[in-house]
Chains A and B, each alone.
Chain A
Amino acid sequence: MALLEVKNLEKDFKEVKAVDDISFKVQKGEIFGLLGPNGAGKSTTISIISTLLKPTKGDIKYKGESIVKNSKLIQPKLGVVPQEIALYPELSGYENLKFWGHAYNIRGKKLKKRIEDVSEIIGVKERLKDKISKYSGGMKRRINIGAALLHEPELLIMDEPTVGIDPQSRNHILETVNKLNEKGTTVIYTSHYMEEVEAICTRINIMDKGKIIASGTKDELIEIVNGNKKINLKFDKVSKSLIKDLESIEYISKLDVSENEIIISSNNSENIFKDITEVVTKSDSSLTSIDINKPNLEAVFLHLTGRALRD
């Protein structure tokens, strides 16, 4: 049985259909990615899963039981890292963690220990006595995540946890997610940065305009656009015979030739490098550089919607 099952979920806000009939399953131990541009409906989906919002239609089951009907089933097991910083600015990092620990029924010595462990994980130990309002954006993000970890949640939901922070904090956060996952935490990770989702997620849903437009592992998704693999070759000189020989390779769909450069578009990837190498060695041109444009999720999104993921 899946840990979480989302079934025909819909959410209407007056005029807007924020989530439009989506279904998916999250298995235990996964890092499940929700990728999509601004306004795709990621946060809305996550708000419904975390019991903040009620769906207009559809159901969500946690270990087979509906949490739409009974939110108490999932709440103690769930860690939620909201998109916006949700902390008390006039309290210190320590006091914030203390309260959120309390809210999840952790008390006394255990709470102290957990605050220590968590601040270690998120790397804010030295600054814990300072007020949140004095923290940098990255520090706030880290405490924002820490507040969701105190009760060792079974399922951790993170809504764009890296928005607007420095690359160092960002890498730290991604590492943290991986570490938590290794220890058994299932993660739902939302982002509109495809690099992040590519880097850590085991399975990915691509959302757009309230719908899931593609889902699968990263490789499965990239398979969708594999027809568009591009290889960029540079030579000291380009001869007619070289072009002719390359054209004769059947799965090369297109050749863009300029002065010293040939860009190859191909459908199939398996033999392409071997075949190209053979042709090039035979010719009297010598290769100066080779650059392979691997398709990524950005390309998948572009392919599916005709729009870029980020504007």
Chain B
Amino acid sequence: MLSIIKLRLMRLRNDYFVFVFMTILALGLSFVMGSSQSGNYKPTVPIVNSDSSEYSNLFIEELKNSKNYNFTLTDYDNAYKKVDEGKVLMALIINKGFQRDINNNKMPKVSIIKTKDDIEILTTENLIKTNLAKLKNNVNIAKVTTDYISGIKDVDKKNIFNKAYDLSLENWEYKRPMSVTRKTITDGKWSEFDNFKHIIIGFTLFFSMYTIVFGIGEILNERKYNTWQRQIVSPLSKGAILGGNMVITFMIGIIQVGVLIMASKYLFNVDWGSSFLGIMTVSISFVFTVTSLGLFLSGIVKTHSQLAAISPVILTSTSMIGGAMWPLEIVNSKILLFLANLTPQKWAIEAMEEIAMYNGSFNSVIYPSLIIIFMGIIYFILGIKLIRFE
């Protein structure tokens, strides 16, 4: 095994390029995406109010309360023009019949004008949907209350409705960001979801996966060089060949994750929380599992170029599903959320955020780390079974 490790150290020139490339990509993209989504940048979203009703006004008012967006009223032509010229990402149209729909207890219709789909638009759409659901519910509650009370007494209907509406709105405030509420209770601290940090964590893991998968994929290059066959007929055992490659890839992976964490800490001032041990544990589990995943993928394909062809597809799609690109909080689909649980990325991101964002303790990463390692063991076993020694 030692001879394989020494060999790989001599051959680091091969891994070094991927390593540097992924480091630059991860940091560069985090910076670009992070700076466009955080800080003082507030995207403007034009609203066209075609209903001009009591409820549509309530809805707009509620949207305007949002801290992260600048909702402004305008007319349809202007909104369309702005989206078309790329001055704004999207515009919201409140269609006619908005109030009528709510009164009939139907989900009111709103439209979005946009030229593309991206994470920012998805997040905004999500905010709009949430507010819409909220409005409809609140109106319902308020109506029921008003009807009930006015049935007993002859009172100011309007006044009661407003009170009931405000009350139920207040209720929402507590329930809204689930994770924040939870943190408030457990830590007694009020911290917010930090999108830049999320991107840093997601990209650190995502780009490290490439370094790791291509690191273990070197065994496919050995096959191309015919050195694989030569190793097999030498006294090197299969265990030593695979073990040596696994160990060196694992170390490269740890260094890659470490470099990205350190770089984000010192370049972008990202606070990684107070449990170094926790972050280490998650990193080690994750790198082990991705190394095994790489072994598994190298077992499926025949050549290194095939690996280079399927890896981006597999790594990118699982990273999207696992929430490395955008927070899973904006995902509604039950199926996608279920699938997310099957990716190691999801568990690693969750565990790292627990520490870096919500200041959790080491204990909070034990369970997710075990799940990650469990996945790793499965990939490892499949990997050894699939790698051909002929």
Contacts and interface: CB of A to CB of B under 8 A. Distances in A.
A80 B227 CA distance: 12
24 contacts: A51-B232, A51-B233, A52-B229, A52-B390, A54-B390, A80-B230, A82-B229, A84-B226, A86-B225, A86-B229, A86-B230, A87-B225, A88-B11, A88-B225, A90-B14, A91-B10, A91-B11, A99-B6, A99-B10, A100-B234, A102-B3, A103-B3, A103-B234, A103-B235
Interface stretch (A71-79, A160-168, A303-311): A71-79
Interface residues of A, number: 27
Interface string A50-87: 11111000000000000000001001101010101111
B243 to A, nearest CB: 14
A104 interface: yes
A85 B233 CA distance: 15
Contacts of A82: 226, 229-230
Interface string B217-241: 0000000011101111111100000
A50 B11 CA distance: 26
A289 interface: no
Nearest to B229: A52
A258 to B, nearest CB: 53
B13 interface: yes
- Interface majority SS on B: helix, strand, loop or mixed? helix
Given A86-B230, A99-B6, A104-B234, 10 more contacts: A75-B233, A85-B226, A86-B225, A90-B11, A90-B14, A99-B3, A102-B3, A102-B6, A103-B3, A103-B235
Interface of B: 2-3, 6-7, 10-11, 13-14, 225-227, 229-236, 390
B234 A75 contact: yes
Contacts of B235: 72, 75-76, 103-105
B379 to A, nearest CB: 27
Contacts of B236: 103
A216 interface: no
A88 B227 contact: yes
A89 B231 contact: no
B224 to A, nearest CB: 10
Contacts of A95: 10
Contacts of A87: 225, 227
Contacts of A90: 11, 13-14
Contacts of B225: 86-89
